[in-house]
Chains A and B, each alone.
Chain A
Amino acid sequence: MKRRDFLKSMTALAAGGAVSAPAVFSPARAQGRQETLLIVSESGPNNLDIHGIGTNVPGYEVSWNCYDRLISHEMKTLPNGTQYYDRDKFKLELADDMNIGDMSVTFKLKKNATFQDGKPVTAKDVKWSLDRAVTVGGFPTFQMGAGSLTKPEQFVVLDDNTIRVDFLTKDRLTIPDLAVIVPCVVNSELVKSKVTDKDPWGLEYTKLNTAGSGAYRVTTWNAGSEVILERFDNWKGGPLPKMRRIIWRMVPSAGNRRALLERGDADISYDLPNKDFVELRDAGKLNIVSTPYSNGIQYIGMNVKTPPFDNLKVRQAIAYAIPYQKIMDAALFGLAKPLYGAPADAKTEPVWPEAHKYNTDLAKAKQLLAEAGYPEGFETTLSFDLGFAGVNEPICVLTQESLAQIGIKTTINKIPGATWRTELNKKVMPLYTNVFSGWLDYPEYFFIWCYHGKNSIFNTMSYQSPEMDKLIDGAGAAASVGDKATYDKDVDGFVDLAFADIPRIPLYQPYVNVAMQKNISGYQYWFHRRLDYRALAKG
């Protein structure tokens, strides 16, 4: 058959199809569809720049795909075949060379890398971007500080192509912190032309426009309904991505997101209720990938500053009264990694998250409660964030029911998402469930925020213990000089202490669940848990 005839007959076929089934795409659109990825999710970005004020998590996804960093992470393959970022192996993105010295690290930039408007990426752009990250305030500055990157003076331009980052102290989190989303490189010439007196960093411009050297750029953004991204064909940060266009639509109804996937109209969705994921997985029509949050746990926290939870025996009683297995089955449909009921003789490992040895044992809980001086129990409130009611509500109801059996009467307090953080900040809720996860996957990173006596906002229990502080600081110091033996000893020490004092009761490690069509490949799990479009492919 001749090519022309073939095309003609195909067109005729397609036209015929269009009459009988109106959903069929015309040939041009079908071609577009092959190179286009349709993502559906519940909510979209409120800002395209992670340096902006109050950028939400979907906004991080845009930043990740539209901007480059100096370095990024290599991938490794998990036993189940999932591509998972390798915490310890760095990959050069905008940098061509990374030279780590004693108190500084020097990067040479890729010579041919350009921004999406064609201007070359220079060391001046990198410095301006890093200066911006450490000075704009809010989340980006906070995240930079987590890696001891706090002052513009730390970023030194050596020549057009070379930049040095000086260390304030020896901190093993400094290099990993340069590979998170925040230290992205912005087109400084372009953004500087848009600054005003009130807005010296041009945040208003980058809120609505992407100005990076990354693999994609946003061409259309209708807040709350869709984001359309086009590939930047001259991208130098890695191999050219397969997908030419990404259409990201916000579909608020979870039922419809599922229907779109099952009908084959949407390619990927990643925020469906656990029940739907389990059903979709069992139906087998789609690829479902479940990966535990790195360095993240869902827990029940107790305020140790106020009675009755200032009493260790009461906290232990609660830890023995949580219906762990019921929570796993009824609230999560098994889609989580349990963090309870480790065997009594299990040795503590220098890793986190790790399972504790408490199990549901109501007789023991009752006895501990009596020893603590509350044989009749007491009354308290159990709070949760309504923003994640799908999981939080069943957890709280099951816990309430179980606590009632040892005489503790709880009133469930549902707090709307907008006020949840305000309430957490006050640190007055006696009993609550919450999730914490850190981008940087190191045990001491988790503990410094959640258990250290400097009482950061994530130490929601107001837990204070000089012994704990010593172990956490000790592990940090040991890590920075590479003293593995001391590090392991200190990590074991603080994990043991956290379980013995039990101010927060880990329940499980949540899963990131992604559902996609069978013809989609290249999904990668990242510490930020959002999608990386650059590796995704179709067909």
Chain B
Amino acid sequence: MGSMLLKRVLAAIPSLIGVVIVTFLLTRALPGDPAAYFAGPAATKEAIEQIRATLGLDQPLIIQFFHYVVDLAHGDLGKSLTTGQPVAEEIRARLPASAELTLLGLIVSMAIAIPLGIMAATKPGSIIDHTCRIVTTAGVSLPVFFTGLILVYVFYYLLGWAPAPLGRLDVFYSAPPTVTGFYLIDSLIARDPETFVAALKQLILPALTLGIFSLAPIARMTRASMLSVLSSDFVRTARASGLAPYTVIVTYAFRNAMLPVITTLGMVFSFLLGANVLVEKVFAWPGIGSFAVEALIASDFAPVQGFVLTMAILYVALNLLIDVLYGLIDPRVRLEA
């Protein structure tokens, strides 16, 4: 098992090198001129050239790439010009914010989608099946920023139930001491229930927004997978042997239907992590997606490169995790396969 993991990690290295080269070239091919942008509105040509030299952007591309790779080897992802911070630090601070939100969104989504999918599969063509179809279609066809704004409008502006959409915590709370970077976990570690509740309150609306958006693939996949399992021989045998419907569906059928659902979950998670930019914008969430987009707009190279690289590493890690999970759920699946 251990050597298998190592092999998989090694196999990912060429693709990571590819990502490094491609993002470097792509960011250089962007039309913007960072020197002109950061020289400010009142810059003269000389001032722009001065800044270009300070940023090292006056050197040939190959030299710039060499510097970038050397820095990277030292764990230095460069500095963001828009925020003025080292990119590695920014990502370290922002990734937990995005991950916490995305995970909670995924949990919300699973809590709704999986039961819905199972129920729809047990009674195809029934009201519950149609409800599942309508909910998933609606969820996937409403743009996230729209759902987010509607939720803010109703639950914050009109009803006043939700707290102000001001990021991870209300302004008068201070963040719990960082252990994991997840406020919910850190506040529990710090035994600070008040902060836990405050952080949870801030999370509800954005997580719900993400959850609604990602309902569809999970519910549909659960339904399809359950349908095929439910029509298989062993389920018929189980039913014929007089097992209770609950045992048949949950213990026998669902466990066997889980594999494709797990694959979908993995894809949805990594997709959400990158794609929740709009949710982050709506809820002023200090996440990694909005950071990357802002950098892109300012043609700020280092954060964009750092973001893509982090995402690539996450994808690799996530795929590995899913493969390991496969083996646990279904002993017939081997890592080598």
Contacts and interface: CB of A to CB of B under 8 A. Distances in A.
A418 B284 contact: no
B133 interface: no
Interface string A261-292: 01101100000000000000000000000000
A143 B93 CA distance: 35
* Candidate in B31, B39, B50 with the most chain A CB atoms within 10 angstroms: B39
Interface in B250-309: 281-284, 286, 290-291, 294, 297-299
Contacts of B284: 225, 249-253, 256
A416 B286 contact: no
Contact of B47 (A38, A138, A207, A416): A138
**Interface SS of B by simple majority:** loop
Contacts of B281: 252-253
Contacts of A40: 166
B282 A256 contact: yes
A259 B153 contact: yes
A224 B294 contact: yes
Interface in A290-307: none
Nearest to B30: A418
A425 B36 contact: yes
Nearest to A208: B84
Interface stretch (B101-109, B157-165, B218-226, B227-235): B157-165
B36 A422 contact: yes
Nearest to A257: B284
Contacts of A223: 80, 82-85, 90
* Candidate in A29, A32, A425 with the most chain B CB atoms within 10 angstroms: A425
* Candidate in B55, B172, B281 with the most chain A CB atoms within 10 angstroms: B172
Nearest to A47: B84
B54 interface: yes
Contact of A421 (B36, B81, B163, B282): B36
B32 A54 contact: no
Contact of A142 (B33, B47, B298, B299): B47
B294 A263 contact: no
A11 interface: no
A53 B152 contact: no
B51 A256 contact: no
Contacts of A53: 38, 51, 54-55
B156 interface: yes
Given A54-B81, A260-B164, A417-B297, 20 more contacts: A21-B160, A36-B171, A46-B81, A53-B38, A138-B43, A142-B44, A142-B47, A222-B93, A225-B286, A247-B171, A252-B281, A253-B149, A256-B149, A259-B165, A263-B156, A266-B164, A416-B31, A418-B37, A418-B298, A457-B44
A454 to B, nearest CB: 11
Interface residues of A, number: 54
Given A33-B172, A208-B84, A255-B149, A222 B165 contact: no
* Candidate in A45, A247, A256 with the most chain B CB atoms within 10 angstroms: A256
Given A249-B166, A255-B149, A142 B171 contact: no
B33 A25 contact: no
Contacts of A196: none
A417 B294 CA distance: 11
A482 interface: no
B74 interface: no
Contacts of B8: none
Contacts of B201: 22
29 contacts: A22-B161, A22-B201, A29-B172, A32-B172, A36-B171, A46-B81, A46-B83, A47-B84, A53-B55, A54-B37, A55-B40, A138-B51, A141-B47, A143-B42, A222-B93, A223-B84, A225-B284, A226-B171, A249-B166, A253-B284, A256-B165, A263-B160, A265-B166, A416-B32, A417-B297, A419-B33, A421-B36, A456-B44, A457-B44
A139 interface: yes
A421 B44 CA distance: 11
Interface string B315-332: 000000000000000000
Interface string A226-265: 1000000000000000000001011111011001101101
B96 interface: no
Contacts of A21: 160
A531 to B, nearest CB: 17
B32 A418 contact: yes
A36 B170 CA distance: 13
Contacts of B34: 418
